[in-house]
């Protein structure tokens, strides 16, 4: 945890949470449901949190149940949570139909995980899913670090080029391979690049904060453009409060931190962050 650097007490949108809900497989043993998340968020001016589902392959009923779980939480607590559904891109037509259903039901995004779901980002069926999500105005959040696929960063570039109208979010900023994000400021030199890639600093930001690589991580993100950087906690792997303090300690300016913590997410996920306060941060969670 960083000992020096800026503090931050403004609004926060957490785009990356894994809450324990019925039908969702836990990512960590323990009690990490919505109430636990909000209890751990006390002291943070949390405006919104994106709750992620994860779809299995060849099981459309289970996919629907998992998506319904995050949709139900968002409907029950529209002042705090928004739903990010999932499909398995190798399911083909049923996956595309589920994207249509998610969009109609009020989901704000889609989550795909090449490692957990065991698919190759370069598979044409992934492009088809991203294209359908773009048609339905759903940003696609990918887990974007693979120790098993050295070519994965380049595959994300090809995907963004193939579907320029998409909104692709790279979770974890490529992890320890974050310098490869420098391809995006290179692409930005060309008029045909649509800047349709955002960077989620969950896990990697807190991991690097306070260490010798923190200044280079900050420099790389500034080269990409701070208007394309998003905050996520990856709860329960990182609790919200410590994740906020870690990212605040990376050395960004106050105006940059506002972009990272809420302005960029508000624009991308169409959230009214500035006027929406939900429950006050000192309030007791009621879930």
Q: What is the pLDDT of residue 278?
A: 56
- Torsion angle in degrees (nearest 10) through CA of 55, 57, 59, 63: 10
What is the arithmetic mean of pLDDT over 28-41? Answer: 94
Q: What's the whole-number average pLDDT of the chain? A: 94
Q: What is the pLDDT of residues 205-259, one digit of tens each?
A: 999 999 999 999 999 999 999 999 999 999 999 999 999 999 999 999 999 999 9
Residue 221, C-beta contacts closer than 8 angstroms, at least 6 positions apart: 173, 181, 199, 201, 229
Would you state the pLDDT for residue 5? Answer: 53
Contact by Cβ (8 Å): 45, 11: yes
pLDDT digits (tens, 9 = 90+) for 78-126: 999 999 999 999 999 999 999 999 999 999 999 999 999 999 999 999 9
pLDDT digits (tens, 9 = 90+) for 122-141: 999 999 999 999 999 999 99
pTM above threshold 0.85: yes
CA distance 264 to 258: 8
Sorting pLDDT into bands at 50, 70 and 90, what band is 280? very low
pLDDT at 281 over 60: no
Question: Looking at the predicted structure, is the pLDDT value of residue 284 above 80?
Answer: no
Residue 51: per-residue pLDDT: 98
Residue 3 has pLDDT above 50, yes or no: no
Give the architecture-level CATH label for domain 11-269: Alpha-Beta Barrel (3.20)
Bridge pairing between strands 11-17 and 45-52: parallel
Question: Is the CB of residue 117 less than 8 Å from the CB of residue 94?
Answer: no
pLDDT band at 26 (very low <50, low <70, confident <90, very high): confident
155 against 25, higher pLDDT = 155
- What are the domain boundaries of the chain? 11-269
Please say whether the beta carbons of 111 and 172 come within 8 A: no
The answer to whether 12 and 37 are in contact (CB under 8 A) is: no
Q: What is the pLDDT of residue 282?
A: 37
């Amino acid at each position: 945890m960083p000992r020096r650097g800026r503090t931050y007490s403004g609004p926060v949108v957490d785009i990356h949470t894994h809450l324990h809900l019925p039908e969702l497989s836990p990512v960590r043993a323990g009690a990490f449901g919505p109430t636990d998340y909000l209890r751990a968020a006390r002291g943070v001016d949390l405006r919104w949190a994106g709750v992620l589902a994860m779809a299995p392959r060849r099981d459309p009923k289970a996919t629907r149940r998992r998506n319904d779980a995050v949709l139900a939480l968002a409907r029950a607590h529209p002042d705090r949570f928004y739903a990010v559904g999932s499909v398995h891109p190798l399911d083909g037509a049923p996956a595309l139909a589920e994207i249509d259903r998610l969009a109609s039901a009020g989901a704000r995004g889609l989550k795909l995980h090449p490692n957990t779901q065991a698919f190759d980002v370069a598979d044409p069926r992934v492009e088809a899913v991203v294209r359908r999500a773009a048609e339905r105005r759903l940003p696609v959040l990918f887990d974007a670090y693979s120790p098993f696929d050295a070519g994965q960063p380049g595959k994300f570039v090809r995907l963004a080029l193939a579907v320029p109208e998409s909104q692709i979010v790279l979770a974890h900023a490529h992890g320890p391979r974050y310098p490869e994000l420098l391809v995006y400021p290179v692409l930005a030199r060309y008029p045909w690049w649509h800047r349709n890639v955002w960077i989620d600093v969950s896990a990697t930001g807190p991991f690097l904060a306070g260490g010798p690589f923190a200044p280079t991580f900050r420099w790389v993100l500034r080269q990409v453009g701070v208007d394309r950087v998003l905050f996520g906690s990856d709860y329960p792997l990182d609790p919200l409060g410590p994740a906020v303090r870690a990212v605040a300690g990376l050395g960004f300016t106050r105006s940059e931190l506002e972009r990272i913590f809420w302005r960029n997410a508000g624009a991308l996920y169409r959230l009214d962050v500035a006027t929406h306060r939900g429950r006050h941060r000192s309030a007791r969670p009621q879930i």
